[in-house]
Structure 1
Amino acid sequence: MPKPPENWLRAWRMDDAPMLLAAAQEPSLQQQFVQPISSLDEAEKWIQDRGADSAAGTAHAWAICGENDEALGLVTVSHIEPRHSTGWVAYWLLPQARGKGLAVRSVRAISRWAFDELGLFRLELGHRVDNTASCRVARAAGYAAEGIERSRLRYGDKRYDVERHARLATDPEPGEVTGRNGFPGRS
């Protein structure tokens, strides 16, 4: 696993499995997991798979951490396509970690890292159009809105439109964001 781009990001560890299991049960996060996580064994497998993805160079995922190094969320660049120099950015935070600037700082950090270290040129992300908080994160992290993908996602019997955003390596850096306590890195 490559070195994370900032001190509040780190590789996932097996002792994060209980947090990951709890996150997978959180109603606002359940749809973030492609494969359901309903046991500690499944959470540990998810963590192992993130390491394998990184070793293969297809994705790099870090835990977003609080002041005591506790995992509070995820930021990842995945679907890395070397031929086109593109990747897909995703992120989520536990409810108690939201609203502190962690998601914005983490998306900015992984974006700059993907441009500088992986040599990617274009990064994309998407969110349900009813997820206004995620839209704010995308815009604050320098991702321009590019359009709506109609009925892109299906959760149960309901379909959702997705707003697509992208950031290019040549785009200007977005402004500085600080947490509620006034300094970057830890909130």
Structure 2
Amino acid sequence: MMQLIKSNFIERSSVIFCDVLADMAFHDFPIVLPQGSALSSTIISLEQELLESSQRHSQEQLQRRLHPRFAEVGASGRVYDREAIIAQLAREPARDAGALKVESPVALQLSDQLVLLRWKLLAGSPSERSSLWIHEQGRWQLLFHQGTAAAHPQPSAGPEEAVHADGEFTVRRLRLSDAEAVFEAFSSNPDMLRQGDADSPQKAESYVRALLEAGERQQAMAVAYRDRLVGLVCGTVDPANRNAWVWYWMNQNYRGRSLATRAVATLVDYLFDELGLYRLELGLRANNPGSKHVAESNGFLHEGVERGKFLVAGERIDVHTYARLRTDGGSAVMPLPWGTQQ
């Protein structure tokens, strides 16, 4: 009788033990979560929410979504903690709903509490993104995020369809030998006609020569890819008042990668730190959101509107004026590095 009870107990214990193992749901992590699964959809939805302006500009929402130990490594290589990224996003220009979107997401479950989401951001400067989400105290929070500029083919002055690495873009002094590349830039888009008179090789050489012969008054810097000019940033200096008028342009084939934004940051640091200027000014057309992004990202503050200043294709366009003082706060933009030969 005792033997029968013992036998039944052992058999039932084995069944119970196996059931417990099954309930504990041991997995061979990592697991690629199927598209459309509940967990994958939840993480992707949370990531998308963080791309919306209403979330990005809300300190309360960001504190809820970002883990207290959150860290981010930006595309520039700069590291941010939770407080720094919240402060940066507060200064970010507002975007239309849905302007940014999580593309090609792949969710990888690393444990019961961790999910890694790999995805792409195609708006603006295309980038590869990685987000690590952790489940604590009944909710998912973003623990770590990293963005890396995506390598992708684009037209260039060098080999066709070359893949450009951001590390190969620098800022250096303008040279007379840049005239050919200036002509190429002015030929890249009809809107370049508003930047000056350089629509022929001869005019481009005269354009460059005039900037160089102006000496210290024109602080003209080439935005260069592998030392070849693809854009220009310049500060026209008013030495009597220690001010400068900042202006910039990019070859059409190199726009949309934040190169102008980062090159202006390099120029701003030079004008403030090396030349000791106090006030920097710039103006931009009301219908030029790209230029507005360059200005505001670099800490320039809106000071006024010059109504109907420019006549473009028969339409009067307002001009927005911006300025930044040496005493104003800085910006979170990572400047482009100086070339080996400034």
TM-score w.r.t. length of structure 1: 0.82
- Going from structure 1 to structure 2, the CA distance change for 1:129 and 1:103 (only over 3 Å counts) comes to same
For the 8 Å contact 2:193–2:199, the answer to whether it is kept is no
For the 8 Å contact 1:101–1:177, the answer to whether it is kept is no
Aligned counterpart for 1:27 among listed residues 190, 205, 215: 190
The answer to whether structure 1 residue 42 and structure 2 residue 195 are counterparts is: no
5 Å-filtered alignment, 1:16-95, equals 16-25=178-187, 26-33=189-196, 36-53=197-214, 55=215, 57-66=216-225, 68-78=226-236, 80-95=237-252
- Going from structure 1 to structure 2, the CA distance change for 1:11 and 1:23 (only over 3 Å counts) comes to same
Aligned counterpart for 1:136 among listed residues 293, 296, 309: 293
Give the aligned CA root-mean-square deviation in angstroms: 2.0
- Going from structure 1 to structure 2, the CA distance change for 1:96 and 1:38 (only over 3 Å counts) comes to closer
For the 8 Å contact 2:186–2:251, the answer to whether it is kept is no
Task: Output the amino acid matched with 2:195.
Answer: Q
Secondary structure of 2:327's aligned partner:
coil
Task: Output the amino acid matched with 1:24.
Answer: F
Displacement of 1:185: 4.2
- Going from structure 1 to structure 2, the CA distance change for 1:14 and 1:83 (only over 3 Å counts) comes to closer
Residue in structure 1 matched with residue 172 of structure 2 by the alignment: 10
Q: Quote the Cα distance in structure 2 between the aligned partners of 1:87 and 1:141.
A: 15
Q: How many percent identity over aligned positions?
A: 33
1:27-51: CA deviation from partner (whole Å, max 9, x where unpaired): 1211111xx2232121111111111
Consecutive unaligned residues in structure 2, runs of 5 or more: 1-168
Moved more, 23-32 or 154-163: 154-163
Residue in structure 1 matched with residue 155 of structure 2 by the alignment: none
For the 8 Å contact 1:114–1:120, the answer to whether it is kept is yes
For the 8 Å contact 1:149–1:163, the answer to whether it is kept is yes
Q: Quote the Cα distance in structure 2 between the aligned partners of 1:173 and 1:185.
A: 18
For the 8 Å contact 2:261–2:333, the answer to whether it is kept is no
Displacement of 1:157: 3.8
Consecutive unaligned residues in structure 1, runs of 5 or more: 1-6, 179-183
- Going from structure 1 to structure 2, the CA distance change for 1:145 and 1:120 (only over 3 Å counts) comes to same
The answer to whether structure 1 residue 127 and structure 2 residue 127 are counterparts is: no
1:57-102: CA deviation from partner (whole Å, max 9, x where unpaired): 2111111012x11211000001x22222111000111122112121
For the 8 Å contact 1:149–1:162, the answer to whether it is kept is yes
5 Å-filtered alignment, 1:133-172, equals 133-155=290-312, 157-172=314-329
Secondary structure of 2:180's aligned partner:
helix
For the 8 Å contact 1:18–1:40, the answer to whether it is kept is yes
For the 8 Å contact 1:23–1:30, the answer to whether it is kept is no
Q: Quote the Cα distance in structure 2 between the aligned partners of 1:141 and 1:127.
A: 14
Q: Quote the Cα distance in structure 2 between the aligned partners of 1:147 and 1:19.
A: 35
Moved more, 114-123 or 153-162: 153-162
Displacement of 1:143: 0.5
- Going from structure 1 to structure 2, the CA distance change for 1:177 and 1:112 (only over 3 Å counts) comes to closer
Point out which structure has higher relative CO (alpha carbons under 8 A, 6+ apart). Answer: 1
Q: Quote the Cα distance in structure 2 between the aligned partners of 1:176 and 1:166.
A: 17
Q: Quote the Cα distance in structure 1 between the aligned partners of 2:322 and 2:247.
A: 11
Aligned length: 169
- Going from structure 1 to structure 2, the CA distance change for 1:107 and 1:82 (only over 3 Å counts) comes to same
TM-score w.r.t. length of structure 2: 0.46
The answer to whether structure 1 residue 174 and structure 2 residue 342 are counterparts is: no
For the 8 Å contact 2:262–2:334, the answer to whether it is kept is yes
Task: Output the amino acid matched with 2:219.
Answer: H
Task: Output the amino acid matched with 2:244.
Answer: G
Q: Quote the Cα distance in structure 2 between the aligned partners of 1:22 and 1:159.
A: 29
Residue in structure 2 matched with residue 181 of structure 1 by the alignment: none
